[in-house]
Amino acid sequence: MPLFSDLRVGDELPPLKKGPVTRQHLVEWCAAENDYYPLHYDERVATAMRIPGTPIQGTYKLALIGQLISNWLNGVGRLRSISVSYRGLDLEGSLITVRGVVAALTPSDDGTGQAVIEVWVEDADMKRSTTGQAVIELPSRSATR
Amino acid sequence: MSEADPAELIRAEYLARVGGPVCESVEEGRVRDFLMALDEPCDRMTGQPVPPLFLLTLGRTRRPQPSRGSAVNAGNDYEFLAPVYVGDQITVSRSVLSVEPKEGKAGRMYLLLSQATYTNQRNEIVGYSRIRILRWGW
């Protein structure tokens, strides 16, 4: 459980490893997000778009970043905002790792504070396909007593 | 007769697809599906807010997909103002902020920027989102 007073810029969140991400994961995510864009489960659509396989949904990677943060917060603090850009594709079968690092800390007068977390998804070669940042509101030690 | 401006066609097609405001219940089963798709345990749902990014599942339109050309999601932004619970009624209202031409590897592309507002049954805005969709091969 992170407390604002304990955080330092550069602190890393415990990484979240996923994969291999299978066709079943992609179809389950279609159902979960209620969007069945066939690019994510039909190679014919991917081939027509000159993509060499069915890509993992960007929103799935976004949700995994949300999972990384909620695991780290463990019920304390809250996610205020998140912004991500999908810069590359991760195809079905990929092993991906979701990471975050504290990039900035802004204290409030009451001892609580905001943390800006740089977040990204990387593949097995540590190439970042998704990058962004999240803003977290965190309590101080006294606020959790 | 000259062809209509692609940017205007993309805007019109998107608005026709998403339609007007949509009100949806935050159903426990859908929250469970969301968590299970992430291999997340579902036993901590009771009385707890749903995961903030559950908002991305609301107000979605399965069909029709884009009529021509290709489309990919280039990015998402979310701002969370208040927690959402199972049983809430969330109204999602979408608008198109811009459609801008870009030059890419595939030639002329268009970047559509859309915003959604999420309002609960007490008329409180619980969040906003933006999506950037890249279209090409138009």
Find which of A22, A34, A73 to mutate to test the B interface (most B CBs within 10 Å of its CB): A34
Contact status of B37 with chain A (Cβ, < 8 Å): yes
Asked if residues B95 and B21 have their Cβ atoms less than 8 Å apart, the reply is no
Looking at residue B1, what is its pLDDT?
45
Find which of A26, A35, A87 to mutate to test the B interface (most B CBs within 10 Å of its CB): A35
Looking at residue A145, what is its pLDDT?
46
**CB–CB of A80 and B73 under 8 A?**
no
- Phi and psi (nearest 5°) for B103? -105, 125
Contact status of B73 with chain A (Cβ, < 8 Å): yes
Looking at residue B105, what is its pLDDT?
76
The correct CATH number of A4-22+55-144 out of 2.60.40.1180, 3.40.50.10610, 3.10.129.10, 3.40.50.300 is 3.10.129.10
Looking at residue A49, what is its pLDDT?
87
The chain A residue lying nearest B65, using CA atoms, is: A37
ipTM for the complex shown: 0.94
Residues B26-53: b if buried by 16+ CB within 10 A, e if exposed:
beeebbebbbebbebeeeebeeebbbbb
Which two structure tokens, joined as six digits, stand for A111? Answer: 């001892």
- Phi and psi (nearest 5°) for A129? -95, -25
**Residues in B touching A59 (Cβ below 8 Å):** 56, 73, 76
Looking at residue B2, what is its pLDDT?
55
Domains of chain B with CATH codes: 6-136 (3.10.129.10)
Contact status of B121 with chain A (Cβ, < 8 Å): no
**Residues in B touching A62 (Cβ below 8 Å):** 53, 56, 76
Looking at residue B99, what is its pLDDT?
97
- Give mean pLDDT in consecutive 10-residue pieces for chain B, a chain of 138 residues: 79 88 94 94 79 95 74 96 96 97 87 97 98 89
- Phi and psi (nearest 5°) for A125? -95, 10
pLDDT digits (tens, 9 = 90+) for A33-85: 999 999 999 999 999 888 999 999 999 999 999 999 999 999 899 999 999 99
Domain regions of chain A by residue span? 4-22+55-144
**CB–CB of A63 and B70 under 8 A?**
no
**Which residue among A48, A49, A58 sits closest to B76, beta carbon to beta carbon?**
A58
Looking at residue B62, what is its pLDDT?
75
**CB–CB of B77 and A82 under 8 A?**
yes
**CB–CB of A86 and B73 under 8 A?**
yes
Amino acid at A27: V
Q: HSE (CB half, 13 Å, CA atoms) of B121?
A: 9
**Residues in B touching A37 (Cβ below 8 Å):** 65, 71
Query: Mean pLDDT across chain A, nearest whole number?
Result: 93
**Residues in B touching A44 (Cβ below 8 Å):** none
**Residues in A touching B33 (Cβ below 8 Å):** 28, 31-32
Looking at residue B19, what is its pLDDT?
83
- Tell me how many degrees the CA angle B39-B71-B65 measures, rounded to the nearest 5: 80
